[in-house]
Amino acid sequence: MEKTSQEPIRFSVLDRHKQLKKISSETFDLIIIGGGVTGAGIALDGASRGLNVCLIEKNDFASGTSNKSTKLIHGGLRYLKQLEIGLVRESGSERAIVHKLAPHLVIPEKMLLPLIEGGTYGKMMTSIGLKVYDLLANVSGTDSRKMLDKKETLEKEPLLDESVVLGSGYYAEYRTDDARLTIEILKKASEFGATIINYCEMESFVYNSYSKIESLNCIDHNTEKKLNLSAKNYVSATGPWVDLLRKKDHSMNNKYLHLTKGVHIVFPHNKLPIKQSVYFDVEGGRMIFAIPRGRCTYVGTTDTNYSGNLEHVVATKADAKYLLNATNHTFPIVNLSLEDIESNWAGLRPLIHEEDKDLSAISRKDEIFISKSGLISIAGGKLTGYRKMAIRVIDSVLETMSSKQKEKLKISDTENIALVNPRMENSKEVNIYIKELEQLLATIGLNDPYYAWYLCTTFGKKADTIIDKMNLFIDGTPEENLIRAELWYCIHHEMTNSMADFFVRRTSRLYFNIKSVLKYKDLILEDFITYLEWDEKRIASEEKTMKLLLDDATIYYDTEFV
């Protein structure tokens, strides 16, 4: 096998019409069911090696777990406490690789771990643990862990409770936008020739006389047309839905998913004005994060058993109060209330069930199941490990191929394939570009530095294309012209089909700038009608969906079974 070329085979943006023309006329080497980060990673790894790959997703890309994480590319410090050395080593090394692939999207984030009287981590354990953490992840230089005394800790974060803080550990992680990362991986897979389709649901497997899967019966939800797709291999990367597909395939065994729910709450930064990210104790031995991001600070996550509706996961009052109480306990002077929470998100973790294990102790390792029908299912895993998970899945696919077939393929080289072009090489170049954007945006009336940071950390240097398109919209305010230009880009380059796609997965505005959603949703609806020629029925459906999204982001339910 040869090394993968850095240059893609052919260029193809995520244009749904072009992708649909390809989808029913070919027999693929591999069809991937599931458009989260795991499926996206598999598509890129397979396509860049030379496989003819198709990926289908029943909703929008990253609409499940891959849009509901803590939005960190991190090594999993708490897994070290559980002695999951291999998982920590792999996650730790992957952080630096993914940062290199998209430095505008995977951003270095210093993390403060306060040491408090009676806390989970003592000084000696923290010092040794963080040192081992750095060694496993090959961390060196300015990113190496430091132990801070009480004075230094309070200088880093004055909002901490001075009466109980003894000191802290100070170490490096990376922050990301999980949905944007997924989209960029899919776009890159498309550049290497992968066929990528959202809103295309697999309804049933079709088997041959040997009980092997020979095709998939699917439905395109945009047109309600039935499709039959065929391939030599099939992978299910469907996260919380993995067991549902295994049941359809009649291939369940003694391994099955254990779903847990994670909730995050979002405050305006002026309500929780922490200076930097903090990883802190919660009563009962759990740890949660408080992370500043642009105009907001978000806090999470919970970890509770879940057996409710997979299609509608919500935050309850108990979830919100749990995080709120923990935040007020750690930062007592802020005195936050439920009314201060601006937005929230709730998602599921598809863990592999383990008998007699506490929720927080269940392994986050991934596992591959191969059925007699040929269905390859991958479950478990973490956002950080998407690339290595993809390699393991494609290696499993290759085991079904002859030596002659494999000779034509390249070895995996995704660690060297930049996810966004034009690429930025490092954080220094990212910061320079943000400054350039600040100056450019100021000339068109956007003087708030937030916009430059937001555009860069969302779209990278594609922000130039968006700013150029602002010239198409001459009647609105600079803010209106910007969001309309973003929508134009997301529809024409990123297969955006709905308002939820745009406000949640492409821009994260619902979570981190919900006021802009409320302010501009009618304007954005008008542009959707123009670009996608929506009829009255579709318009009514979108308005109903937007109301539900806004309710879920701001209302705390009495029960999760809604």
Show the tokens assigned to 476.
């609105």
How does DSSP assign 333-375, residue by residue? TT---GGG--EEEEEEEEEEP-TT--GGGS---EEEEE-TTSE
- What pTM value is reported for the model? 0.94
* pLDDT at residue number 287: 87
202: closest CA among 212, 215, 193?
Answer: 215
Distances (CA, A) of 460 to 93, 180, 291, 417, 456: 23, 11, 21, 16, 4
Contact 7/418 with Cβ under 8 angstroms? no
Strand bridging mode 146-149 / 165-175? antiparallel
Select the CATH number that applies to the domain covering 106-175+257-361 from these four: 2.130.10.30, 3.90.650.10, 3.30.9.10, 1.20.200.10: 3.30.9.10
Amino acid at 239: G
Helix axes 85-101, 123-136, angle to 10 degrees: 60
Give the pLDDT means over successive 10-residue stretches in the chain (562 positions): 50 74 85 97 97 97 94 75 69 86 94 84 76 72 83 96 92 93 96 95 96 96 93 96 96 89 97 96 84 96 91 95 95 96 95 66 77 94 91 95 88 95 93 97 96 97 95 90 97 96 98 97 97 96 96 90 54
Write the CB contacts of 42 (distance below 8 Å, at least 6 apart in sequence). Answer: 32, 55, 235, 237, 378, 389, 390, 393, 394
3-state secondary structure of 323: helix
Contact 251/373 with Cβ under 8 angstroms? yes
d(CA 289, CA 292): 10
* pLDDT at residue number 81: 63
Phi and psi at residue 415, to the nearest 5°: -70, -10
* pLDDT at residue number 124: 76
32: closest CA among 15, 50, 51, 18?
Answer: 51
Contact 92/139 with Cβ under 8 angstroms? yes
The 10s digit of each residue's pLDDT in 349-371 is 998 886 655 555 565 678 999 99
The 10s digit of each residue's pLDDT in 146-201 is 999 999 999 999 999 999 999 999 988 899 999 999 999 999 999 999 999 999 99
- List the domain boundaries for the chain: 2-65+179-255+363-416, 106-175+257-361, 427-554
* pLDDT at residue number 364: 66
* pLDDT at residue number 172: 86
d(CA 385, CA 407): 27
Chain centroid to Cα 542, Å, comes to 24
The 10s digit of each residue's pLDDT in 498-548 is 999 999 999 999 999 999 999 999 999 999 999 999 999 999 999 999 999
Neighbours of 369 (CB within 10 A): 20
Sign (positive or negative) of CA dihedral 493, 499, 505, 507: positive
CATH topology of domain 2-65+179-255+363-416: FAD/NAD(P)-binding domain (3.50.50)
Contact 45/385 with Cβ under 8 angstroms? no
3-state secondary structure of 308: coil
3-state secondary structure of 23: helix
d(CA 203, CA 198): 14
Phi and psi at residue 178, to the nearest 5°: -60, -40
544: closest CA among 556, 552, 532, 555?
Answer: 552
For domain 427-554, the CATH architecture is Orthogonal Bundle (1.10)
Q: What is the gyration radius of the CA atoms in the chain, in angstroms? A: 23
Find residue 344's DSSP bridge partners: 265
Phi and psi at residue 393, to the nearest 5°: -65, -50
* pLDDT at residue number 309: 93
91: closest CA among 358, 387, 534, 363?
Answer: 387
Phi and psi at residue 173, to the nearest 5°: -135, -170
